[in-house]
Structure 1
Amino acid sequence: MNVDHWIGGERVPSAERFEDHSPIDGSVLAHVARGGQDEAALAVRAAAGAFPAWARTSRDERARLLHAISDGVERRTEELAMVETTDNGALLRSHLRGVMPRVAHNFRFFADWLLGLGRDDFDTRGHANHVSWDPAGVAVLVTPWNAPLMLATWKIAPALAAGNTVVLKPAEWSPLTASLLADITAEAGLPDGVFNVVQGYGAEVGPPLTGHPEVRRISFTGSVATARTIAASAAPNLTPLSLELGGKSPLLVFADSDLDLAADLAVEQYDNAGQVCLAAVRLLVEESVAADFLERFLARASALRQGDPRDLDTDLGPQIHPRQFGKIDGFVRRAVAEGASPVLGGGPNRDLGGLYYQPTLLTGAKPGSEILTEEVFGPVLTLQTFADEEEAVAMANSTDYGLAATLVTGSPARARRVSARLVAGTVWVNCFFVRDLRAPFGGARRSGVGREGGDWSFDFYCDVKNTVSAPWAR
Structure 2
Amino acid sequence: MRNRFMIEGVSVSPDHFINGKRVSSPSTFETRCPFDWANKLADISRGDAETAALAVTAATNAFPIWANMTSAERRKYLHRLSDLIEANQEHLAIVECMDMAMLHESLRLRVIARGALNFRNYADLASEHTERVWSSKGTANRVIRHPAGPAVIITPWNAPFMLSTWKCAPALAAGNTVILKPAEWSPLSASLLGDLIEQAGFPPGVFNIVQGLGSEIGNALVNDPRVKRISFTGSVATARVIGKAAAENIVPFTAELGGKSPLLVFADADIDAAAKKAAGQYDDSGQVCMAGTRIIVEDSIRDIFLEKFHAYADAHVLGDSRDATTTMSALIHPTHAERVMGFIDRASAAGDIIERGGNRVGGSNFIEPTLIIPRSNDSEAVQNEIFGPVLTFQTFSNETEGVALANSTAYGLSAVIYTGSAERAERVGRVVRGGTVWVNTFLVRDLTAPFGGIGISGLGREGGDYALDFHSDLKTLQILEDSVV
| CA distance, structure 2, for counterparts of residue 359 and residue 116 of structure 1 | 46
Partner residue of 1:411? Answer: 421
Unaligned runs of at least 5 residues, structure 1: none
Q: Displacement of 1:125 after TM fit?
A: 2.2
More divergent stretch after superposition (395-404 vs 109-118): 109-118
For residue 8 of structure 2, what is the aligned residue in structure 1?
none
Consecutive unaligned residues in structure 2, runs of 5 or more: 1-11
Q: In the alignment, which of 116, 121, 127 is matched to residue 128 of structure 2?
A: 116
Does the 8 Å CA contact 1:339/1:366 hold for their aligned counterparts? no
Taking the TM superposition and a 5 Å limit, the aligned residue runs for 1:45-124 are 45-124=57-136
Q: Secondary structure at the match of 1:381?
A: strand
Which amino acid in the other structure matches residue 366 of structure 1?
Answer: S
Residue 277 of structure 1 is matched in structure 2 by 289
Q: How does 1:36-435 map to 2 (within 5 A)?
A: 36-349=48-361, 352-435=362-445
**Post-superposition offset of 1:225:** 0.5
What is the root-mean-square deviation of aligned Cα atoms in Å? 0.9
Q: Distance in 1 between matches of 2:268 and 2:220?
A: 54
Residue 24 of structure 2 aligns with which residue? 13
CA contact (8 A) 1:118 1:132 kept: no
Amino acid corresponding to residue 474 of structure 2 in structure 1: V
Equivalent-residue separation in structure 2 for 1:268 and 1:133 (angstroms): 41
**One-letter code of the match for 2:472?**
C
Displacement of 1:232 in angstroms is 1.5
Task: Describe the SS at the equivalent of 1:401.
Answer: coil
CA distance in structure 2 between the aligned counterparts of 1:119 and 1:193, rounded to whole angstroms: 29
CA contact (8 A) 1:251 1:266 kept: yes
Residue among 441, 445, 454 paired with 2:455: 445
Which amino acid in structure 2 is aligned with residue 376 of structure 1? I
Cα distance in structure 2, aligned partners of 1:335 and 1:126: 66
One-letter code aligned to 2:187 = P
Number of residue-to-residue matches in the alignment: 472
Q: Report the identity percentage.
A: 51
User: TM-score scaled by structure 1?
Assistant: 0.98
1:22 equivalent in alignment to 2:46: no
Say which of 443, 455, 474 aligns to 2:465: 455
Residue type of the alignment partner of 1:23: P
Q: Find the residue that maps to 2:41 and give its secondary structure.
A: strand
Asked whether the equivalents of residues 14 and 191 of structure 2 are also in contact (C-alpha less than 8 Å), the reply is: yes
Q: Helix, strand or coil: the match of 1:269?
A: helix
Displacement, 1:354?
A: 2.4
- The corresponding residue for 1:2 is 13
Q: Deviations over 1:340-366 (max 9, x none)?
A: 1122211112xx122111011111332
Whole-Å separation in 2 of the counterparts to 1:353 and 1:163: 46
SS of residue matched to 2:228: strand
**Superposed structure 1 runs of 4+ greater than 3 Å apart:** none
Q: Deviations 1:411-469 (Å, cap 9, x if unpaired)?
A: 01011111111111000000000001110000000000000111100110000111111
Structure 1 equivalent of residue 9 of structure 2: none
Letter aligned with residue 437 of structure 2:
V
Distance 1:305 1:282 in 2: 22
Q: How far does residue 339 in structure 1 lie from its aligned partner after superposition? A: 1.2
**Shift in Å, 1:179:** 0.8
Q: Give yes or no for contact 1:365–1:372 (8 Å, CA) kept in 2.
A: no
Counterpart secondary structure, 1:446:
helix
**Residues 35, 363 of structure 2: 8 Å contact kept:** no
8 Å contact from structure 1 (residues 247, 401) kept in 2: yes
Question: Conserved in 2, the CA contact under 8 Å of 1:365 and 1:371?
Answer: no
Give CA deviations for 1:200-241 in whole Å, capped at 9, x if unaligned.
011111111001000000000000001011111222101110
